[in-house]
Amino acid sequence: MSLTLEEFTVAYGDLRAVDGVSLSFPSGATGLLGPNGAGKSSLIKGLLGLVPPRSGTARILGHDVRTERDTIRQLIGYMPEDDSLIPGLTGFEMVRFAGELSGMTRVDAMQRAHEILFLVGLEEARYREVESYSVGMKQRIKLAQALVHDPRLLFLDEPTSGMDPKGRQEMLDLITGIAAGGEMGIVVASHILVDVERTCERVVVMHRGRVLEENSVTDLRGGFAGVHTVRVEGDAERFVQRLQARGVEVQTGERHTLEVALPEDMTTDVILETAIATDVVLRRLVSSVRSLEDVFVHLLGEEYRADL
């Protein structure tokens, strides 16, 4: 495991931004998913020692985050959500400086900076001062800084934040390419569901400092495969009560629809039979989970929309 946590807690006064999280991140790309304020950034900052953890333990690549911070920082790359650029420096100087801070010699850092700037598509802008960069270019330079020293584990906090559609697509392609190399573990923290679905094999869903789900993207979607959107005309309350009596979970959806979650041993025949038994007209019956967006809505319900 590249990253393990046991009852890991990060707090700001009385606010527990990360509340007793226990997790194991395998190799490969893992999405840290949640709405704004879920605790994603606080978790990363706590792991990197940028915010002292309140309690619990964590190990990154076998090293204790409390006692081996210097070693850890040489092994990981970190792309923060906020801008961390130094005015007056060129893109090349920013990346070279990041390499030297990671322990590289000046000559090695210079050579590697040129290589990484080419990788992220900034070779033609490398001698421009960073304050003249567009939002997308600033995101790319942060990624280059995180990659310059060939880390074994890469933390990307909202990597597509503020980017236009074309730049966002190119950033996702870069992350996907890095992950495909198989030499670097990646943790992508994002509230943009499609970004995680596009780049990651596994996902950890956080909400209000706690972990709601941890699974592969495929299995997480598949686990909700029995959820259907239903709309009926007639005595909907009696229809719902009859379904619930048979062990079916029913929630009220949008536009007078019902979200019906069938147990694994049931098929949609149960919905049809219940409609007949309660004398309602079935106007709509479709599978409602097609993406992580749908899974997220089912996990958080109206809280998800309120927190975005």
Q: Is the pLDDT at 208 greater than 50, yes or no? A: yes
**Is there a single domain that holds both residue 161 and residue 236?**
no
Q: Is the pLDDT at 26 greater than 90, yes or no? A: no
**Is there a single domain that holds both residue 143 and residue 259?**
no
Nearby residues of 46 by Cβ (< 8 Å), 6 or more positions away: 8, 10, 18, 52, 53, 58, 65
Please check whether residue 306 lies inside any domain of the structure: no
**Is there a single domain that holds both residue 246 and residue 127?**
no
**Is there a single domain that holds both residue 187 and residue 268?**
no
Please check whether residue 295 lies inside any domain of the structure: no
Catalogue the E-assigned strands of 35-105.
Answer: 55-60, 63-64, 76-79
**Is there a single domain that holds both residue 33 and residue 102?**
yes
Range of the domain at 274: 226-288
Instruction: Give the C-alpha distances (Å, rounded to integers) separating 55 from 8, 37, 246, 273, 291.
Output: 6, 20, 44, 52, 35
Task: Evaluate whether 280 touches 235 at the Cβ level (below 8 Å).
Answer: yes
Give the Cα separation of 92 and 116 in Å (integer).
10
188 — pLDDT class (breaks 50, 70, 90) = very high
Count of domains forming the chain: 2
Task: Evaluate whether 114 touches 92 at the Cβ level (below 8 Å).
Answer: yes
For the whole model, what pTM was predicted? 0.76
**Is there a single domain that holds both residue 147 and residue 273?**
no
What is residue 289's predicted lDDT score, i.e. its pLDDT?
60
Please check whether residue 101 lies inside any domain of the structure: yes
**Is there a single domain that holds both residue 173 and residue 281?**
no
308 — pLDDT class (breaks 50, 70, 90) = very low
Q: Report the CATH number that the domain containing residue 232 is assigned in CATH.
A: 3.30.70.100
Percent of the chain with pLDDT over 90: 58
Q: What is the pLDDT of residues 49-84, one digit of tens each?
A: 899 999 999 999 999 999 998 899 889 999 998 888
**Is there a single domain that holds both residue 101 and residue 142?**
yes
**Is there a single domain that holds both residue 195 and residue 153?**
yes
198 — pLDDT class (breaks 50, 70, 90) = confident
Amino acid, res. 114: H
Domain stops at, among 219, 251, 275: 219
Please check whether residue 305 lies inside any domain of the structure: no
β-partners of residue 33 are: 190, 205
Q: Report the CATH number that the domain containing residue 65 is assigned in CATH.
A: 3.40.50.300
